[in-house]
Structure 1
Amino acid sequence: MVNISARIDRLPSTPMLRKILFLCGIGWLFDAMDQGMVAGVMASIGKDWALSTGQLGVLGSSAMLGMAIGAALSGMAADRWGRRTVILWVLIIYGVASGLSGFSTNFTMLVILRFFTGFGLGGELPAASTLVSEFSPTRIRGRNVILLESFWAWGWIVAALVAYLLIPVYGWRIGFWVGAFPALFAAVIQRAIPESPRYLELRGKSDEADAIVSRMEKQAGINYKPESDSETAPKKVNNVHVSFADLWSKKYLASTIVLWVIWFGLNFGYYGFVLWTPTLLVGKGFALVKSFEFTLIMCLAQLPGYASAAYLVERIGRKKVLVVYLLGTALAAWLFGHAGTANQVLLYGCLLYFFSLGAWGCTYAYTPEVYPTVARATGSGWAAAFGRLGAFLAPMIVPVIYSAYGQAAGYKNVFIMLTVVFAVVAIVVGIVGKETMGKSLEEITD
């Protein structure tokens, strides 16, 4: 029998793998672009339609709710119908809903369309990270998924340019129309990205899996001979699906708990500071323009954060990198909350973005590795969905704490809270997490 997984793990980085990584990364960039543009778009909508703070909150929350449901359902769908199929359809849903949002005539219509935009956004991330992970050989698997996640930083940069250059001239609708491009990009995905060979083999489609891996072997100059392969292929399983309840069985319990803690904590901590940093800096006495300038510089620190995590994750391991970067984020959050000068704010803010985005990259690398192929997308999707609850709660809790204690004490207490969250997640990973570096996906999870 053909052992697809063993053959993939023997491959170097091939042109097909690099193309898959790049194209999935472009989809990732679109997701980040929507998240990055939402602040500028919502501010413009609020002014044009005279929306209350509560209505703007509902508008933002509708997308987060859509992301949570999209992540959960797309994960299960990807294990049932395939990773590539799900990526294709959620990009279409996201792109069409975003484009239609630009034609909204009232608040209710926009809220509904933002929900479906979020649904597509949330659905794309776990499916894409699973696909890249399953296409990657063991020795570069973690690095590749972190490189995929690094497209998030570029998406925020594009969003900043769109918000700065286009929205003031053409209004908020242009931001949503730009977000329609993923629907067109889905046609490129349809033709350029094949299905995961590991998934195809699991579903009994060994001939299709063999054809894809053979193309990669040809690109790498490897002549595979089935009769010389002493390894036994994994048993083919047809029409077997893992349910939500199965994720809490003894087999998957520890992995599920660790991932849910990581995803909730990172989402809560990240969205607790990234959405409120400009506002908090203004409250600390900085001019609004200066706060935006500082935030942009801090965002640039994401890039070396991703790069360093991608380098270290294949050298010292996922677990160690996660713990170090989470503790680094906790320390940076503490320092940022106690910063007294402009230079300190900028330095500690850069450290906060550096470590937090490095931790995000490692999380995306680690998540698909702790479940077997039959449950990989389902487990990843539900972890991401639960994490969105943290993203939903943090933006509401931060202003309550900030207002309750006043500007000076409130600013410190917000970041003390975030420090505790990041530290707790680091402790959980350190105690319960398992190391997956250097192991094949089958070796990790069987």
Structure 2
Amino acid sequence: MTTGGRSPPHTPSGSEAEGPSGDFGLAVGSAIDGLRSARLRVHAPLLLGFIMLFDSWDSVVIAYVLPSLMKEWGIGPAAAGLLMSSGYAGQFIGAILLGRLAERFGRMPVFKAAVLVMSVFALVSSVCPGYNSLLISRFIQGIAIGGALPVSITYINELAPKAIRGRYFAAFQFITISGYAVTAAASAAIIPAFGWRPMFALGALPLLLIPFVGLLLPESPRWLASRGRIAQTNKALVKLGGQAITVNAAAGTVQTVSPSAKPSPFGELFQPIFVRRTVTLSLLWFVTSYVSFGIITWIPSIYVTKFHMEIGESLRYSAVGTLIFVMVIPAVALIIDRVGRRQIAITGSLMSALAFAALASQIAPGIGAIVAMVMIGQFFTAGVSVILWPYTAENYPTSVRATAMGWASSLGRAAALLTPLAVGGLLALTGSIHIVFVIFAVLALIATLIWWLVAPETAKIDLDMVH
């Protein structure tokens, strides 16, 4: 990455192209780009998107059950923050650990195992008798939640045809992020009538979808090619509706195939060739996630404790705000491949900074104006969050992509872990919500400057040529 935000990640040509699979890997990438099958263009993003909808559900459901738990179990702000952070602590570990495992064992085995654990502990959380058991259950579930997302996103990006990669990923992400809105809407209907336990139990529904993943989707052909597994790569391409690639140097079809014995070490992300982009992306992930998760996880409780709403009213406002959060994805999808990633991110970060600055300075008097500013902040922060996933994948080669996605996601989870503790601590110490909005505004402004000064554009970059 270079100052000024204009130079893309290194994209060598010919024999310098990244990847242990050499020309075979390039041929696989070209084959994926040319596929028009429903299995690749429709089934993959929709099926994984619906599964990951419940990853989003499980991630944020604690925000909507927390007001009820605080009353039922007599939990104060600090203890509530710790309960929220326990899940995000697990997600921090899972994002790094499962990303590494996906680099070694493949995307699909790790993804399916994570979904299984995530679903089982959704059921466990629904029957926890008290605070401590729920704290432990959410931590273990968090490991699976945190790992499933970067692995699935790595897989989706490796299947996405280059010309429509932004829209392709947006289709997957729209369904995934819809989990936030579905959780908010369901909580407004379910919790007042049936209590909080069914909200956790519903997070186990992906158990019904796991068999369809094995039936319809193969391992990532790009990952298989990077491991030198020619036969398995061709089987994967055929399963996706393509044709096998003939390895015949004499015919000039594919010139070289060199298998890689081991995945790249985690430390490679901080080698000279990657360190600048890794540091830049780490900062973007942390500050953006701090603001995003801070709003999502705390706003229902803030509405109740600081603006004196009834729980039902708070959940309804939160549901509307989260629906707006979700609707940003179709808006981004319409322009992401034309405008690019960088301009959207700069605009979104700046607008969210202005919205939170208005809340901090009390320019928005009255509950209606406050809710409106919160929703504006959510909308534009969501836009930046949407961009970060494909943008990160486009900055790294296949050999370290899952590791990089896991690292980036772990930074987001670290921010999500700290947000409940910091906000809960500030509210307990000062009793003022305005300092919280000041922090959100400053962090959004920092993100704006990073995108503007040092983040390059990556739209339509060839994943097989990233170095």
TM-score normalized by the length of structure 2? 0.85
1:61 is displaced (CA, Å) by 1.7
Distance (whole Å) between structure 2 residues aligned to residue 394 and residue 278 of structure 1: 14
Show the counterpart of 1:112. Answer: 136
- The correspondence for 1:391, drawn from 410, 413, 416, is 416
Deviation at 1:371, TM superposition (A): 1.0
In the TM superposition, what is the alpha-carbon distance from 1:188 to its structure 2 partner? 2.5
Q: Residue in 2 aligned with 1:93?
A: 117
The residue aligned with 1:137 is 161
Are 1:302 and 2:325 counterparts?
yes
**Of the candidates 71, 76, 81, which is equivalent to residue 100 of structure 2?**
76
Aligned partner of 1:247 in structure 2 is 269
CA shift in 2, pair 1:294/1:113, >3 Å? closer
Which residue number in structure 1 is paired with residue 8 of structure 2?
none
Change (3 A) 1:16 1:287: same
Residues 78, 428 of structure 2: 8 Å contact kept: no
- In 2, Cα distance between equivalents of 1:386 and 1:303: 22
Residue 218 of structure 2 contacts residue 239 of structure 2 at CA under 8 Å; is this kept in 1?
A: no
Flag the structure with more relative contact order, 1 or 2, with Cα contacts below 8 A and sequence separation at least 6.
Answer: 2
Using the alignment, how far apart are the partners of 2:118 and 2:235 within structure 1? 31
Which amino acid letter does the alignment assign opposite residue 223 of structure 2? Answer: Y
TM-score normalised by the chain length of structure 1: 0.89
Deviates more, 1:8-17 or 1:237-246: 8-17
Aligned residues of 1:329 and 1:356 also touching (Cα < 8 A): yes
Deviations 1:54-99 (Å, cap 9, x if unpaired)? 4433322211110000000011111111111111000011111121
2:11 is matched with none
For residues 253 and 39 of structure 2, the distance between their equivalents in structure 1, rounded to whole angstroms, comes to 26
Structure 1 residues 425, 13: closer, same or farther in 2, change over 3 A?
A: farther
Range with greater deviation from structure 2 (51-60 or 258-267): 51-60
Q: Does 1:362 align with 2:387?
A: yes
Distance (Å, rounded) in 2 between the aligned partners of 1:284 and 1:102: 28
Q: Please give the alpha-carbon distance, in whole angstroms, between the structure 2 residues aligned to 1:272 and 1:162.
A: 21
Confirm whether residue 374 of structure 1 aligns to residue 395 of structure 2. Answer: no
Letter in 2 for 1:133: N
Residue of 269, 278, 288 corresponding to 1:266: 288
**Cα offset, 1:48, TM superposition:** 4.0
2:16 matched residue in structure 1? none
Distance 2:255 2:462 in 1: 13
CA distance in 1 between counterparts of 2:80 and 2:305 reads 21
CA distance 1:233–1:66, change in 2 (3 Å): farther
Helix, strand or coil for the counterpart of 2:399? Answer: coil
Check the 8 A contact 2:217/2:239 in 1, yes or no: no
CA shift at 1:103, angstroms?
3.0
Residue by residue, what CA displacement relative to the aligned partner does 1:397-422 show, whole Å, maximum 9, x if unpaired?
A: 23444566664xx42x3222211101
Which residue identity does 1:131 align to in structure 2? Y
Q: Please point out which of 315, 335, 354 is paired with 2:338.
A: 315
Q: Which stretches in structure 1 are left out of the alignment for 5+ residues?
A: none
Amino acid of the residue matched to residue 422 of structure 1?
A: A
**What corresponds to 1:426 in structure 2?**
448
Aligned-partner SS, 1:127: helix
Kindly indicate whether the alpha-carbon contact (under 8 Å) linking 1:305 and 1:353 is maintained by their aligned counterparts in 2: no
Residues of 2 paired with 1:43 and 1:285: CA distance? 14
Q: Secondary structure in 1 aligned to 2:394?
A: helix
Task: Please tell me the residue identity of whatever aligns with 2:416.
Answer: A
Rounded to whole Å, the distance in 1 between the matches of 2:366 and 2:79 is: 35
Compute the displacement of 1:354 (Å).
1.7
Counterparts of 2:383 and 2:165 in 1: how far apart (Å)?
16
Shift of residue 395 of structure 1? 2.3
Q: Deviations over 1:364-385 (max 9, x none)?
A: 1111111110100001101111
- Whether the 8 Å contact between 2:77 and 2:424 is mirrored in structure 1 is no
Q: Match for residue 358 of structure 2? A: 335
Residue 94 of structure 1 contacts residue 183 of structure 1 at CA under 8 Å; is this kept in 2?
Answer: no
Q: In 1, Cα distance between the equivalents of 2:300 and 2:183?
A: 16
Q: Deviations over 1:136-182 (max 9, x none)?
A: 11111122223222224421232234323333444333222212222
Match of 1:39 among 63, 77, 80: 63
2:150 corresponds, among 122, 126, 138, to 126
CA offsets per residue over residues 298-331 of structure 1, 9 Å max, x none?
2222233111212221011112222222222222
- Return the alpha-carbon distance in structure 2 between the equivalents of residues 426 and 234 of structure 1: 43
3-state DSSP class of the match of 2:272? coil
Residues 403/175 of structure 1: CA separation in 2 closer, same or farther (3 Å cut): closer
8 Å CA contact 1:101, 1:113 repeated in 2? yes
- The residue number in structure 2 matching 1:351 is 376
Which amino acid in the other structure matches residue 76 of structure 1? R
- How much has 1:343 moved relative to structure 2? 4.5
Unpaired runs of 5+ in structure 2? 1-22
Deviation larger for 240-249 or 78-87:
240-249
Structure 2 matches for 1:8-19, cutoff 5 A? 8-12=32-36, 14-19=38-43
Aligned twin of 2:87: 63
Structure 1 counterpart of 2:444, which letter? Answer: F
State the aligned residue count: 439
Q: Distance in 1 between matches of 2:38 and 2:335?
A: 22
215, 239, 244: which is aligned to 1:191? Answer: 215
Distance in 1 of aligned mates of 2:461 and 2:376? 31
8 Å Cα contact 1:138-1:438 kept in structure 2:
yes
Q: Partners in 2 of 1:172 and 1:371 — Cα distance?
A: 41
Matches of 1:334 and 1:373, distance apart in 2: 40
